[in-house]
Structure 1
Amino acid sequence: MSLLLAVDVGNTNIVLGIFDLAAGEGGPILHSWRLATSRERTVDEYGLSSLALLKHAGIDPAAIRHVVISSVVPPLHPVLDAWLRVYFKSEPLWIEPGIKTGLKVLLDNPAELGADRIVNAVAGLEAYGAPLIAVDFGTATTFDVVNEKREYLGGIICPGLKISAEALFQRASRLPRVEIAEPERLVGRSTIQAMQSGLYYGYVGQVDGILERLLAEYPGSKVVATGGLAKVIAPSSRFIHEVAPDLTLDGLRILWLKNQKPCPSR
């Protein structure tokens, strides 16, 4: 068995995914896990954590022949690179400027584009076609736009819902931390219910307000959402058509395949 390990490094979580390359280009993800992103962890701590997850799933680490990684945490890159080389005996393919994506990036400075955003755009196009709006509910919430010519036009970046909730807790001394979830009723009958309603419906309103403007400018776009809170927000959104929890991992698989050198003919 020849497996591909896909690694998506965000500011809050590191998401790992396993693909069976023998299943072909459309092969489904076999397993996925989340680790907390920590700048204090060592190479060995990341290595042993990942090996434990593989063992629990019954996967032989020796079966992982290839690794692809995207990251938005540059200070961690040396540790991450060493982790993947040492524990999986593989040279990781980093998603960075210069790799083949199949997209024309129309940014003033393409080098500043977050790797996860281009990965989401590539995966969204593969699954849903163009034009496309990909919404990623991560530490920040990002909106990425691709036109019918498969040109990446840019996007919008907002504070994530958890950041908003934490700011409310930090700046208002009498308000507690609350679970982020759709409330039972719009008008809260307690402080916690009122906070949940404000956070949830306020964020849904923000997301739909942005999407309404984007769809007016780019009509006919398919809207796909991913990220940890996508399943929480999407049911109340008027414009999100699809939720794809593994969109970023699948994009990493697609980009790994796009960047393989063809075998020389004999």
Structure 2
Amino acid sequence: MIICIDSGNSRIKWGAHDGNAWCEQGSVTHAGIGELAELCLRWPQPARAMLANVAGAVVGESLRQVLAPWAEVLREVKAGANQAGITNLYKNPAQLGVDRWCALVGARQLGSTPRLVVMAGTATTIDSLDAAGNFLGGLILPGLETMRRALFQGTAALPFADGVHMAYPRATADAIVTGCVEAQVGAIERAFARLAGRDACCILSGGHAEVLSGFLVIPHLVAHNLPLEGLLRLAPES
């Protein structure tokens, strides 16, 4: 059994893979990190436990404490210069967020054509991968909810909008939601235009992937928990 854990900014996602398929997947909040101890009881001797953490050092230490029974097989992943058929062209490869790296590795397993890899969560990341497996670079912008919250917290008159997307918004809440969606989709489609070849595809993952999917006009698919797929692929190399 291989256990994969993706500790993001908002939630901690996990999956258990038996070598053929995912047996189970789930998630916990940061406040519920202690619940992960149950995994150590359910699978006391996994072949490998893979961890990707972007939630900071304090969360990382808490994870290592909770997962202490797996200490001998626990591997904390960092972005590398060349792994799983991907060459990292970041100026400093180690500075690339491990969640983005794992998502790129996961996306590569879905095919070898150029791909735009979008992680739509607390932040939205938009990363370009060419057909040869070169990570060309990427964008980071606030996620959908982060955008709405920034307007609410940074202005005196704008609400935390609970509106709907419209072609021509005529209410403030709708104008905010539409603006946030258009900003996300516009960034994705501009990045895709730079990358696009005949076989290029956009892959969406993260909590807001389904929302953004409904507005994109480029070829795309939704792949849930893409970083877990990357962690699984990296397990033999760890």
> Cα RMSD between the aligned structures?
2.6
- For 1:176, the equivalent position in structure 2 comes to 159
Q: 2:28 — aligned with what?
A: 35
The residue identity in structure 2 corresponding to 1:237 is L
Conserved? CA contact 1:65–1:90, under 8 Å: no
Match status 1:92 vs 2:74: yes
1:70 correspondence with 2:52: yes
1:18-75: CA deviation from partner (whole Å, max 9, x where unpaired)? 2123x2xxx2x2322222235xxxxxx623x1245x59xxx82436443101112341
**Could you say what secondary structure the match of 2:91 adopts?**
coil
In structure 2, the gaps of 5 or more residues are none
Measured in 1, the distance between the counterparts of 2:56 and 2:15 equals 21
Q: 2:27 matched to 1:11?
A: no
Specify which of 58, 64, 70 is matched with residue 81 of structure 1. 64
**SS of alignment partner, residue 194 of structure 1:** helix
Corresponding residue to 1:120 among 93, 103, 116: 103
Describe the superposition over 1:66-87 as per-residue Cα deviations: whole angstroms up to 9, x where unpaired.
310111234132222222123x
Distance in 1 between residues matched to 2:176 and 2:90, nearest whole Å: 38
Which structure 2 residues correspond to residues 90-239 of structure 1 after superposition, within 5 A?
A: 90-97=72-79, 100-179=83-162, 183=165, 185-215=166-196, 220-239=199-218
Residue in structure 1 matched with residue 33 of structure 2 by the alignment: 46
Q: Tell me what 1:263 maps to.
A: none
Question: Amino acid of the residue matched to residue 110 of structure 1?
Answer: P
Question: How many aligned positions are there?
Answer: 236
Distance 2:223 2:171 in 1: 34
Unaligned runs of 5+ in 1: 39-44, 260-266
Q: How many Å separate the matches in 1 of 2:92 and 2:12?
A: 26
Q: What SS does the corresponding residue of 1:144 show, helix, strand or coil?
A: strand
Secondary structure at 2:161's aligned position in 1? coil
Helix, strand or coil: the match of 1:128?
Answer: coil
After TM superposition, the score normalised by the length of structure 2 is 0.86
Query: What do residues 120-167 of structure 1 show as CA deviations (whole Å, max 9, x unaligned)?
Result: 111111112232221111222112222222122221212222211101
Work out which of the two has the higher radius of gyration on C-alpha atoms and give 1 or 2: 1
